[in-house]
Amino acid sequence: MAVTVPRPRLNWRERLYLPAIVAGLAITFKHFKNMLLGRTKVTMQYPEQKWDSSLPDHYRGAPALVRDEDGRVRCVACQLCEFICPPRAIKIISGEIPSADRFAKVEKFPEAFDIDMIRCIFCGMCEEVCPEQAIFLRKDYAITGFTRADMVHHKEKLLEIGGVMHGVVLKWNEKK
């Protein structure tokens, strides 16, 4: 159905157009002045200069696995992130923690955890779905590689990016 949008009714000042032209020129002259005084920053010299410090807290960069204060890889290979991942970038092979291990109670760990960074769309669903607070989107954004295989982040790489996470719930430590 066609909708007729009414044109705005302009008063005589607006129909004259001159005040708008003057206002626009004022902005142009302001920038001209700033440039002459060296106050205008036009380009950041990436990659010599990095914008890491100005990244917001909610920035969604590369997903990574974290360890907790005890040094345990928090992931228990529940594969919910693999299930939720819209581009199917995650692949997990689970293993069983031997009974002699310090964390034998957790029973399960990811033997292999691969994220294909060519596929990853940085949506953050994996972080949202994780019931173990094990996967977080970090601020790493420059993910490069020469081959497709290079672009797959294996468990070691993911743990390297992730590092240690403080202040997460330690639900396996004490039965509640």
Binding site for another protein (CB under 8 A): 76-80, 82-83, 94-96, 99, 105-108, 131-132, 171, 175-176
- In 3-state terms, what secondary structure has residue 96? strand
CA–CA separation, 88 and 139 (whole Å): 21
In the complex with another protein, the residue whose CB is nearer, 15 or 176, is: 176
Q: Find the shortest distance in angstroms from Cβ 31 to another protein.
A: 56
Give 54's DSSP letter.
Answer: G
Count CB atoms within 10 A of the CB of residue 52: 12
Q: Find the shortest distance in angstroms from Cβ 83 to another protein.
A: 6
In the complex with another protein, the residue whose CB is nearer, 86 or 131, is: 131
Residue type, 98: P
| Percent helix / strand / coil, the chain, rounded to 5 | 30, 15, 55
In the complex with another protein, the residue whose CB is nearer, 61 or 77, is: 77
In the complex with another protein, the residue whose CB is nearer, 61 or 90, is: 90
Residue 75's nearest CA partner among 104, 101, 111 is 111
CA–CA separation, 9 and 11 (whole Å): 7
Q: Find the shortest distance in angstroms from Cβ 114 to another protein.
A: 14
In the complex with another protein, the residue whose CB is nearer, 80 or 115, is: 80
Tokens 């974290």 label which residue? Answer: 66
Contact of 73 with 109, CB cutoff 8 Å: yes
CA–CA separation, 172 and 175 (whole Å): 7
Q: Find the shortest distance in angstroms from Cβ 58 to another protein.
A: 25
Q: Find the shortest distance in angstroms from Cβ 150 to another protein.
A: 24
